[in-house]
Structure 1
Amino acid sequence: MTVKKKLGIIGGMGSRAGACFLQKIIDYSPATSDQEFLEIIYHNNAAIPDRTRAIVYNEPSPIDAILRSVDLFNRNGIEVITLGCITSYYYYRQITEHTSAYVINPLHLIFESIKEDYAGALRIGILATTGTINSGLFHQELGSNGLDIITLSHHDQENLFMRSVYMKNGFKSAHISQEARDLMKRSIDKLSEQQVDLIIGGCTEVSVAISPDVVDFPYIDTLDLLAKRTVDYCYNLEKINYLKEWIRK
C-alpha cells in the first residue's frame, strides 16, 4: 500500500458529530489490518465556542480555540486537517494561514459531486445551521456556479431545524430525544416541499440524524462526502486528483 498521509481531525463541534466523522473515516478506509489504517490525531476540542452564535450574534469567536487544535497538529507532523463542523469552515482562510498542512474544505467538494452525480440539478436545498446560511458559505460556492440555493423559511429554520439541534436532548446532546428526531424530519420535509432537485445535509448534526443510504430523494451528506474524499486523499488514491486544483487556491 502507498505511503499514507497523517490526518488531524478537529472534533467537539459537537462531540457526537465528530465521532460520527471519525467512524466514517474508519469505515471508508481500504485497510485490511491494524497497520493499514491511517495515523490519526482526533482532538475532541469541546472548548470551541459555538460557531453560529459567533457569526449571527457576534459572540466570542471560535478561531483561537480552533487554532489550538491546529497547533497540536503542527507539533505532531499532521499533513491533512479536517473539521467536524461545516459552519467552522467560515474560518477556513485563517486556519490555512496557520498551518502548512492541507485543510480539506467540504464546500470545495460539493459542486464536483453535483456535477458528477446529479447533473441537471438546479434548485439546491440547504439544510444547515443559521450560522452557515447567514455566512453564505453554500451560496458563494454554488450560487457562483449558476445554482439556485433554497433554504427553510426563517420560522422553520429556527423552530424546526435549529431547535432540533440545540434543544435539550437535541442533536448536540449526549442523549437525543424522539422530539428532536421528529423536528429534524419535519425540517427535511419542509425543504423538500419547495420543489428542490437535491438536498444537501450541510450540518454535521444532519449526518447524525440521517444515514445517506436510507434517503429516498436526491441527497448529499456533506460530512459523508468529506469522509470519503479525505480517505481518498490520505491514501493517495487516483480519483482525488482534482483536489490538486483546490490546493493551489
Structure 2
Amino acid sequence: MELNEQGCEIILPGITEISLIVEQLWKRGIPIVDVNQIYADYALVNENANPHKAFKLGILGGVGPSATVDFMSKIIQNTPAKKDQEHIKMVVEQNPQIPDRTANLVYHETDPTIAMFSTCKRLEAEGADAIAIPCNTAHAFVNSIQEHLNIPIINMLTTTAEHIREHFGLQIKVGLLATSGTIQSKVYYDVLKEFGFDVIVPDVQHQGYVMESIYGNDGVKAGYTDGNCRDNIVKAADFLIDKGAEVIILGCTELPLIFPNESDIIKDCGKIPLIDPTLVLAKKIVSMAI
C-alpha cells in the first residue's frame, strides 16, 4: 500500500511466493504483476524452442578397467577442444564384476548379457545419447542387448571394418589378434567377411600365445605390457604376417596397451600397420559429438 500511495503505477515482486496471493492483492486495487504466470506463459509459447543439448557418451566400462581408461584418454586426445567446456560429456559405469566374456563363449561359464544390459540401461537413464563398449569380445552380446535399448551402441567392430575399407581398400588381407572368445564366436570374423575382407587368424599354438599375452600371469590384464606379454603377442603377429596378413587388428582392447606408441609392426624390414579399434572408436565418437 505504501508503494501505491507513493504513486507507483505497477509493482514487480522479487519473491515468487507473492504470486500465491496476487489475486487478493488485485482485489484491493494493488497493481502487482504475477511473475509466475508470466514465466509460465513464456515457457508455453517457447516450448518448441529447444535449447542445444550437448552430446553425452555412455561408456560400459570395466571390461577391462585399463582399456576403459585408455579409451577415455583417446577420446580426450582426439577432441579438438581449446578449453574444458569443449570436451565431450561422458558418463561411465566402470563395472569389472561383469562376467568374463571369453569364459562364457569358450567354457560356457556365467553369461554376461544381463549384467551388460543392466549397465546399458543405467547409462540410458543417465541421459546418454549413445553407448560405447571398449571391449571387442563383448560385441558378441551386443545384438541381443541393442533391441531393448532406446539409444544406439556404437559398434566398434563395424567401425573398425569401415576404417580399414576407407584407408586400405577391400583387397587387403586382414590379420586378427583377439581373445579365443572373439575368435570362436566369429563375431569379428563375420563382420570382416561381410565387408569382403580375407581374414587370417592364428593357429591353435599361436592363439595360445595371444591368450597368454592377455590372461597370463605376466599378461596385460595383470598389468604387464612388456617382457613375456609383448614377446607372446609378437610371435602371434609374426605368424599372421607369414600367412599373408597386410594389416593386423589388435582385436582385444588390452592389446593396444602393449603398443602405446606404435602404429606398425616391423618384420623383414617391412612395416605392417596395426589397427587399434579403441582409437578408431574414439575418433568415431568425436566425429559424432562435434
Instruction: Sort the TM-score into its range (normalised by shorter chain).
Output: 0.7 to 0.9
**Percent identical across equivalent pairs?**
33
1-structure distance, mates of 2:59, 2:80 = 19
1-structure distance, mates of 2:248, 2:148 = 33
Which of the numbers 218, 223, 239 marks the counterpart of 1:190? Answer: 239
Which of the numbers 38, 42, 45 marks the counterpart of 2:92? Answer: 42
Given that 1:128 and 1:203 are in contact with CA atoms closer than 8 Å, whether structure 2 keeps it comes out as yes
For structure 1, the 5+ residue unaligned runs are 236-249
Paired amino acid for 2:158 = H
Cross-structure match for 1:127: 177
Secondary structure in structure 2 of the residue aligned to 1:43: strand
Which of the numbers 102, 106, 111 marks the counterpart of 1:61? Answer: 111
Task: Decide which moves more: 217-226 or 48-57.
Answer: 217-226
Map of 1:37-116 to 2, 5 A cutoff? 37-116=87-166
Assess, with a 3 A threshold, how the Cα gap between structure 1 residues 147 and 214 changes in structure 2: closer, same or farther: closer
1-structure distance, mates of 2:126, 2:280 = 26
Work out whether 1:168 is the aligned partner of 2:217.
yes
Secondary structure in structure 1 of the residue aligned to 2:272: coil
Assess, with a 3 A threshold, how the Cα gap between structure 1 residues 123 and 214 changes in structure 2: closer, same or farther: closer
Given that 2:133 and 2:156 are in contact with CA atoms closer than 8 Å, whether structure 1 keeps it comes out as no
Which of the numbers 16, 31, 35 marks the counterpart of 2:66? Answer: 16
1-structure distance, mates of 2:72, 2:237 = 25
Aligned length, in residue pairs: 233
Q: CA deviation at 1:68?
A: 2.4
1-structure distance, mates of 2:233, 2:79 = 29
Paired amino acid for 2:216 = M
User: What is the alpha-carbon root mean square deviation over aligned residues?
Assistant: 1.7
Work out whether 1:4 is the aligned partner of 2:54.
yes
1-structure distance, mates of 2:103, 2:203 = 19
Cross-structure match for 2:253: 204
Secondary structure in structure 2 of the residue aligned to 1:77: coil
Cross-structure match for 2:29: none
Secondary structure in structure 2 of the residue aligned to 1:218: strand
Assess, with a 3 A threshold, how the Cα gap between structure 1 residues 175 and 133 changes in structure 2: closer, same or farther: closer
Work out whether 1:139 is the aligned partner of 2:189.
yes
Cross-structure match for 2:273: 218
2-structure distance, mates of 1:151, 1:46 = 28
CA offsets 1:190-228 (integer angstroms, 9 cap, x no match): 221211122111110111112364413223211111111
Give the TM-score of the pair, scaled to structure 1.
Answer: 0.87
Paired amino acid for 1:222 = P
Cross-structure match for 2:285: 230
Give the TM-score of the pair, scaled to structure 2.
Answer: 0.76
Paired amino acid for 2:289 = C
Secondary structure in structure 2 of the residue aligned to 1:48: coil
CA offsets 1:9-66 (integer angstroms, 9 cap, x no match): 1111111111111111111111111111111111211001110110111110111111
Paired amino acid for 2:87 = F
Map of 1:25-36 to 2, 5 A cutoff? 25-36=75-86
Paired amino acid for 1:217 = I
Given that 2:189 and 2:199 are in contact with CA atoms closer than 8 Å, whether structure 1 keeps it comes out as yes
Q: CA deviation at 1:125?
A: 0.6
2-structure distance, mates of 1:95, 1:5 = 22
For structure 2, the 5+ residue unaligned runs are 1-51, 265-270
2-structure distance, mates of 1:10, 1:17 = 11
2-structure distance, mates of 1:148, 1:71 = 36
